[in-house]
Amino acid sequence: MASEYEIQTWMKKATPFVYARISDKEQSPDEAKLPAMKHTPIKDQIESMKMKLKLLGLKPPVKDKVWADVASGGTMDRTGFKQMMEAVLNHKGRAYIVVSEPSRWARNTVRGNTAYEPLYERDIPILSTSDGLMSGTASEPRTNVQFLFNIKQGVAESERGNLIDRVKRKRDIRISEGILPAGIGTLYPFSRTDPLDVINENIHVIDLPRKEGGGGAAFGRLVVQLTAPHGPTSEAYYKKELERENERIAKLTPDEYATWYAFRKKWRQLQKERDYDSQKDGPIRSLNRKDVDWGLKAAQRYVNGYLRYPFSKEYRDTMPSDEQIQFYLDNYQQHLSDKDKKLYIQLVGKRSVRR
């Protein structure tokens, strides 16, 4: 008989039901309105679980057997969780649930165990891929593993408050420096004309009759044509940019808008002068250079907040001065994001990347 710490033979042919969860405090502000499955931490969780299942020689989950929630682990009243429970309890054949760690199932041991009871009776265990623990069931008790599984839920419950405080302090520091926890999109520094200027100067086209070449579709085509060859390629691009522009105009005073606009122009010009688009979603990175502009990548982090949210209380006072920008450009190694520090080590080497 297999050890209770080992993957059971029957699981090789059983159906995995994958469940991922993050709390609302773990989500990025820019992803707050997205469906749960679109959140970056959720996608990362799911990918890590898929990789572990592959390493264990278990079947990969099919798309309609993966659920996720952005919700507290202290409650079991979660939409994705309830859908997953209904699906697995109505499933014909052997099945098990996959989570990345016990606390993703629940942070409250009493509620977590109560929710697990019908699965326990149906011999549907929970597999935690981070540590290989699998909960016990009526016919396969796994007493020791179940004990550890419950402990990890309980520890997570007590640690979560401390973790949230640490995350909040770190986030507050980054916000005070103008660092936004997400990209803002390219400003198209190499386009023939600034797309924002094209939008503002030709917005009247939307209101013209179609027979006179007006309307949204015509306007979208015009923006693409006037910014080519290195401007936006989607004719629907203007919609989001116009929405953001209207928000800025509504929330900023004329002087505040003028200050923001001048800074945006200055930043876009800096990208052109250094021949590098420091945002990852531009049509091209550079016209001529082949290397990465690490200084611009570092400095980009400190302008994103103000460029994206010049009207918010968090970012309206974070516009960096010319001296600050130059400092980031010159001392980029300690100001790169953690992800870019790793990339720097891979591409350049371990030359004094200070953390």
23-77 residue pLDDT tens: 887 777 778 889 999 998 999 999 999 999 999 999 999 999 999 999 988 899 9
Q: Which of 127, 150, 151 is nearest to 4 (CA)?
A: 127
Tokens standing for residue 52:
């572990």
C-alpha 352, offset from chain centre: 29
In this predicted structure, what is the pLDDT of residue 32?
A: 84
Q: From residue 225, how far is each of 197, 206, 220 by CA, in Å?
A: 13, 15, 9
Give residue 160's pLDDT: 57
pTM, full prediction: 0.57
Residues 6+ apart with CB under 8 A from 267: 187, 303, 307
**If one looks up domain 9-176 in CATH, what number appears?**
3.40.50.1390
Residue 352 has what pLDDT?
47
267-326 pLDDT per residue, tens = 999 999 999 999 878 899 999 999 999 999 999 999 999 999 999 999 999 999 999 999
Distance CA 95, CA 105 (A): 16
Question: Where are the domains positioned within the chain?
Answer: 9-176, 195-347
165-198: burial string, b at 16+ Cβ within 10 Å, e else: eeeeeeeeeebeebbbbeebbbbbbbbeebbbeb
How many Cβ atoms from other residues are within 10 Å of residue 164's Cβ?
A: 13
